Amino acid sequence: MKAAVLKSFGFPLAVEEVPEPVLGTGEVIVDVVATRVLSYSNEVFSGERKYALDLPVIPGAGGVGRVRAIGPDATKLSVGDWVLCDPTVRSRDDAIAPDIHLQGVSARGEGGMRLQKYFHHGSFAERMRVPTENVTRLGELSEAEATQWSVLGTMLVPYGGFLAARLQPGETVLVSGATGNFGSAAVAVALAMGAACVVAPGRNEKMLAELVRRYGARVRPVKLTGNENDDRELMKRTAPGPIDCALDIMPPSVATTVVRAAIMTVRPNGRVVLMGGVNMQGGPGLELPYNWIMRECVTIHGVWMYPRDAAARLIALVRAGLLKLEEYETTAFDLDHANEAVEHAAANGGAFKLTVIRP
């Protein structure tokens, strides 16, 4: 089969013929129809992000495809089913504290690297092998719709954060990083889950206005000034009432002062979700006042990805019409132009943008 292979950091992907994936028990082979290209893929492939990847590897974070073959433990899947492939692979021998790796992207710790050596290759290929539990049926789709459904991979990330925070309908949410790719998805997801209001801070006034245009008065934009104390008070005043939950999904380049200003807007007994990349590439860590956390009874959730059942729940929100995939502007490339797709994703990684490879 054809695939795009990362052989060395700092070099282009090599599009070439590679061996077919071999089915084992507890696994599914999927014909990949569409797979999103992460906006920061170029940073991973160059080695800038220093992700733990055992090379050579076929990269690619999940995708949409059709079932080609199933193992004996699959009782609901059928060959030909349209499915979403979740790249979050967990070890099966410790349900409480499993090791995790993101198939085709990175690994966490020694156990994650061991997982990566087996579920090694990602979705920049005509076919991929995934754990059975990482495949979720989508229902009927057309070939064209598969491209749009690939955005679920982006939406699942903030959805996992809101699930951890137990977001309730009618609550007020603040999304730190609202004008970015994952942040704008967080705004859409929070509203789909029933948030009464989303406070959306940022410096990109054009994108803040676009969020209001798309979602109306339930989005309250805040133009940040760069002064931590002033911005904190501005965000709190912009909210229609106390802020119940703050989700940070800022990239590694953002200063910790910006993140702290947003986090410390939550009310007493409020919740904070940390999902961003602060300190990922070195520099000062995030400092939060011990007394503020304790006296205000603030709960802080560190969340990496999402629970196993999140994909099915998110698909249900889309099918119910609460989450609109057509909000995204998609650009598709074939596998022969995988390197061009990576470049395009880096240059077009903002809000409501989606770059896709269709093998």
pTM summary value: 0.95
Helix, coil or strand: residue 259 = helix
pLDDT for 110 equals: 92
Nearest to 283 by CA among 249, 248, 251, 247: 251
Model confidence at 277, in pLDDT bands (50, 70, 90)? Answer: confident
- pLDDT tops 80 at residue 249: yes
Q: Is residue 319 part of a domain?
A: no
Model confidence at 151, in pLDDT bands (50, 70, 90)? Answer: very high
Q: Is residue 104 part of a domain?
A: yes
The residues that bridge with 188 in the sheet, in sequence order, are none
For 302-351, what is each residue's pLDDT tens digit?
999 999 999 999 999 999 999 999 989 999 999 999 999 999 999 999 99
- pLDDT tops 90 at residue 139: yes
Question: Residues of the chain with pLDDT > 90: what percent?
Answer: 92
Is there a single domain that holds both residue 38 and residue 147? yes
Is there a single domain that holds both residue 180 and residue 78? no
Q: Residue 124 in contact with residue 359, Cβ under 8 Å?
A: yes
Is there a single domain that holds both residue 339 and residue 279? no
Q: How many CA atoms lie within 13 A of 108 on its CB side?
A: 12
Nearest to 221 by CA among 318, 351, 28, 102: 351
pLDDT for 94 equals: 92
Concatenating the DSSP letter of every residue in 149-211 gives HTTHHHHHHHHHHHHHTT--TT-EEEEETTTBHHHHHHHHHHHHTT-SEEEEEES-HHHHHHH
Task: List the domain range (segments joined by +) for residue 250.
Answer: 156-302
Domain count across the chain: 2
The average confidence (pLDDT) of the chain is 95
Question: Residues of the chain with pLDDT > 70: what percent?
Answer: 100
pLDDT for 280 equals: 75
pLDDT for 247 equals: 98
Is there a single domain that holds both residue 29 and residue 96? yes
- pLDDT tops 80 at residue 282: no
Q: Is residue 323 part of a domain?
A: no
Q: Is residue 296 part of a domain?
A: yes
pLDDT for 284 equals: 81
